[in-house]
């Protein structure tokens, strides 16, 4: 029977019933924390990451000359990967919520934690590089009138917000992984 695969989605346990004042307080377990995989908090964080990342890529892609700067190309690529990651995990969260299951396996937490850490680092690095180039164009070269500085700044700001929206997901998954 050891060759049987085990699913990564497990049924959610019902909270204990209260029988009177001695059991009036119901404990909140670590796995019930909003923001962890399979919860509404996680779904809202993933959708926030997706929306701000999508706005960042769309704003950057509407400029005609972003391809001439490597940092802006890196931003588009990094945020595109982050969009795909967030969308795929949002689909997993939607599935877990629809079937009323909780994602509790350590392998799942490890995958989500490592993925969130790598993707948020890439997105943050791309946003920092784009911010540096935007400051160079605007303040040092004074060529903002010839370029799309407002769009570059908007795309960079949206990438930062998307990256910062990923941090709670990473920290909660890391916390859950460390406490198991």
CA pair distance 97, 84, nearest whole angstrom: 20
pLDDT confidence band for 28 (50 / 70 / 90)? very low
Instruction: Taking residues 44-65, report their average pLDDT.
Output: 92
Provide, for the chain, the percentages of residues in helix, strand and coil under a 3-state DSSP scheme, each rounded to the nearest 5.
70, 5, 25
Over the stretch 116-167, which tens digit does the pLDDT of each residue have?
999 999 999 999 999 999 888 888 787 777 778 888 899 999 999 999 999 9
**Mean pLDDT of all residues in the chain?**
83
Q: Percent of the chain beyond pLDDT 90?
A: 43
Backbone angles phi, psi at 68, to 5 degrees: -80, -10
Residue 45, sorted as left (phi over 0), alpha (psi -120 to 50) or beta, turns out to be alpha
Altogether, the residues listed in the chain come to a count of 180
**pTM of the predicted model, to two decimals?**
0.76
């Amino acid at each position: 029977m050891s060759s049987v695969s085990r699913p990564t989605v497990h049924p959610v346990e019902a909270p204990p019933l209260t029988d009177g004042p001695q059991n009036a307080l119901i404990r909140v377990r670590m796995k019930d924390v909003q923001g962890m995989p399979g919860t509404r908090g996680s779904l809202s964080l993933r959708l926030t990451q997706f929306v701000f990342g999508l706005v960042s890529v769309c704003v950057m892609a509407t400029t005609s000359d972003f391809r001439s700067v490597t940092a802006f190309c890196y931003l588009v690529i990094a945020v595109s990967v982050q969009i795909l990651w967030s969308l795929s995990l949002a689909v997993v969260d939607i599935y877990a919520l629809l079937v009323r299951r909780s994602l509790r396996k350590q392998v799942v937490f490890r995958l989500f934690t490592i993925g969130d850490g790598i993707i948020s680092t890439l997105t943050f690095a791309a946003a920092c590089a784009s911010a540096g180039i935007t400051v160079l164009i605007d303040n040092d070269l004074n060529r903002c009138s010839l370029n799309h500085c407002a769009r570059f700044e908007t795309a960079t700001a949206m990438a930062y917000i998307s990256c910062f929206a990923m941090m709670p997901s990473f920290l909660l998954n890391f916390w859950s992984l460390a406490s198991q």
